[in-house]
Structure 1
């Protein structure tokens, strides 16, 4: 069975037998990868902690008939402990990795891989509020997948902005003539926050108010779930 090396970020794990785990990863070259890590649930395991969610590792694997097997893991990014130690970070990180897994079903994407690692690094650093990291990642990941939202001119007719009505199903802000019934209106400052999140302008996002962040979060969540065509379980995690 041929050996290969790959770099990947752990999205989730599940128990297999008494001591093994199935590890689902987003990899740099192969996209979504599910592989068995043997013996990692034993206290004597040398690399079990390197294969927890939010960790980035250099992997050696060999191909199997149904699932590949991880034989070696070297840590490249130890983001798991910092994210898991804070519930708000953990909630945001869970949304991010679940979104990454859904998007990766379309095939390998080095851009998607790089975006997720950058977002996890920022989240673990703790300098940016978790909800801003989450929403910035969601918007940019969807843009990477080909669904770039528009927050300036009307996405339907091109009428110059600024506009404050948002039609998620149309892809962003719309003018009054194109606005579907029931489309929400946001504060102008919330639209500005959405633009900053999409651009990765953290300086501008930190100047936003709680109201701006709440409105932007609602749009980011709705836009993500609209394009994924199903809800994300991690969005339902309770707040503390």
Structure 2
């Protein structure tokens, strides 16, 4: 049928003509969708605010030849307002939707949709440190896409852990036999934090020290960007800002 409904989270938008926008969305049942929202840049638009980045909505769309058309939008989660007023939440949310946008169509599953919505909700509520929410999201999103990092066994030979070397290009933690000469070692607290972020053990995540959190974030960013087709620009900007604050 030419008309269909779905639940979506808005990943990004850009202008089209004088009053329209092209909206890129991750949907629950139809994967990634690019659609035109006509007239949403006018002040009289009925649903313009419901198709802004980080918003979750129930939409009705009309199938077009190249782009679908958004006919209706009803809000399911207004997370954008609480995210954009906090810089750390905003940058973490940007990195999350950018990573979701990198997914191939075959990987844009209902589980990916629910994971992203849950992450944006947690950011809006301030449930945990924004960077921790982002790190947990990235690990789980990679796992859902078939790129789960090896954290308890050697990612190359399967030798049981614990191990103390992490190599993004090898798939996670590796044993001494598989680790190249001069590879940087991972502190046990950082290795434990990586496992907690993957498992959603938030008591342990929230109690982690700043050093372990920063180290884990760096490893996760390297891992995610290695497996995605292009780097995540938002992550690079966050890393640059962190380095400036350290100076």
- Give the shorter-chain TM-score range: over 0.9
CA RMSD in angstroms comes to 1.4
CA contact (8 A) 1:167 1:180 kept: no
What displacement does 1:104 show?
4.0
1:23 is paired with a residue of what secondary structure? Answer: strand
What displacement does 1:183 show?
2.8
What displacement does 1:182 show?
4.2
Determine if the alignment matches structure 1 residue 210 to structure 2 residue 210: yes
- Whole-angstrom distance in 2 between the partners of 1:182 and 1:110: 41
Query: Structure 1 pair 50/182, CA: closer, same or farther in 2 (3 Å)?
Result: farther
- Whole-angstrom distance in 1 between the partners of 2:174 and 2:10: 38
Deviation digits for residues 100-150 of structure 1, max 9, x if unmatched?
Answer: 111143354111111111111111111200000000000000000001111
Aligned to 2:76: 76
Aligned to 1:44: 44
- Deviating 4+ runs (over 4 angstroms): none
Task: Give matches, 1:54-133, under 5 Å.
Answer: 54-133=54-133
Determine if the alignment matches structure 1 residue 149 to structure 2 residue 155: no
- Whole-angstrom distance in 1 between the partners of 2:237 and 2:170: 28
What displacement does 1:157 show?
2.3
What displacement does 1:235 show?
1.7
Aligned to 1:231: 231
1:231 is paired with a residue of what secondary structure? Answer: coil
The TM-score, its normalising length taken from structure 2, stands at 0.93
Q: State which drifts further: 105-114 or 9-18.
A: 105-114
Aligned to 2:162: 162
- Whole-angstrom distance in 2 between the partners of 1:156 and 1:236: 28
Deviation digits for residues 16-59 of structure 1, max 9, x if unmatched?
Answer: 11111000000011101000001111111121111110000000
What displacement does 1:159 show?
2.4
2:207 is paired with a residue of what secondary structure? Answer: coil
CA contact (8 A) 1:142 1:224 kept: yes
Any gaps of 5 or more consecutive residues in structure 2? none
What displacement does 1:178 show?
1.1
What displacement does 1:89 show?
0.6
- Whole-angstrom distance in 1 between the partners of 2:122 and 2:104: 21
1:237 is paired with a residue of what secondary structure? Answer: helix
- Whole-angstrom distance in 2 between the partners of 1:116 and 1:101: 11
